[in-house]
Amino acid sequence: MSSGRKIHDGALASRDIGFAKWRNPDAGQSTLDEYASSKRTRKAPPVDQPEDSPFQEGGEKDRYLITYADLITLLLGLFIMLYTASNLDAIKYQNIINAFGNVFGGRTSGIGLTDLSSKIGIMDKSSHVEITPLTALKNDVMNLIKENNYGSSINVEENERGVTIHILEDIVFASGSSELKSTSRLVLHQIASIIKNLPNDLRIEGHTDNVPIHTSAFPSNWHLSVARALNTAYYLIENEQLSADKVSIVGYSEFKPIEPNETLSGRAHNRRVDIVIIK
């Protein structure tokens, strides 16, 4: 009986305590305040960042990664710009120059594609060999010869002096004469359109075969070779506006043959005027 009473008394005591807390809300306030205070003082990490993120305030040791990433991005952009600038289109470049000249009231550039290649260093992408100005000039003259069927009267070669255009007598002069034929003016005009904008010096050379000449106008082959070179140069300067300060003339008579003088064909090739574009 005493044990039952104790149990009953314990239950009553427990209910009394609970009832007292319910009647007195302040009873246990200190414990709740302490719990709430501890929760407020603890700072939870941001939802979108883990506690060990290098981008939060505690990750100072890894902040160099941001600067490093920016540097790599800038270098990538720089290399892309350099690659783009290294692949210039000559035609578009010429059009841009002319467009700016028109906008600002200046004179458009008179340089041609051949001269433009020398200024910006165009590469032949098919062979990966740089095209020099003189090589491009030689190609232009060869195209002119092919398009107009001048193969029997004009040929071109490139050597240590530069590019030499051989113009045979039959297309520019009558036999024993230094006066230009009417047909020669068209040929010289076509050649001048290719070479007139080049910065190179030009030398006009007169040549003859070894058959002596004795006339009132030309006592020797020296006189004839010089007269032919002079008339050719003068025509190019006066009619085709080549710069006179870049042109010189020389007569070689029969002493610079390109073929033996023993045959009619050889002598015909030796009677010629050479236009040499000096390297």
Statement: residue 128 has pLDDT above 50: no
* Range of lowest pLDDT (15-19, 79-83, 191-195, 261-265): 15-19
**How high is the pLDDT of residue 119?**
44
Share of the chain above pLDDT 90, in %: 45
What are the structural domain ranges in the chain? 132-278
- pTM over 0.85? The answer is no
**How high is the pLDDT of residue 226?**
96
**How high is the pLDDT of residue 124?**
47
Question: CB under 8 Å to 274, separation ≥6 — which residues?
Answer: 164, 165, 166, 167, 203, 204, 205, 207
**Distance from C-alpha of 154 to C-alpha of 145, rounded to nearest angstrom:** 7
H helical segments located in the chain: 2-23, 29-41, 64-85, 90-103, 113-120, 133-148, 169-172, 182-195, 221-240, 264-270
Residue bearing tokens 């050597």? 159
Residue 156's SS3 state is strand
Fold of 132-278: 60s Ribosomal Protein L30; Chain: A; (3.30.1330)
For 194-205, what is each residue's pLDDT tens digit?
998 888 999 999
**How high is the pLDDT of residue 248?**
95
**How high is the pLDDT of residue 138?**
87
**How high is the pLDDT of residue 193?**
92
* Range of lowest pLDDT (124-133, 174-183, 215-224): 124-133
For 19-72, what is each residue's pLDDT tens digit?
445 455 555 555 545 555 555 555 555 555 555 555 555 556 677 888 888 899
Cα 90-195-181 angle, rounded to 5 deg: 145
Question: CB under 8 Å to 235, separation ≥6 — which residues?
Answer: 180, 185, 188
For 243-262, what is each residue's pLDDT tens digit?
999 999 999 999 999 999 99
**Distance from C-alpha of 252 to C-alpha of 206, rounded to nearest angstrom:** 6
**Distance from C-alpha of 129 to C-alpha of 123, rounded to nearest angstrom:** 6
Calculate mean pLDDT across residues 69-87.
84
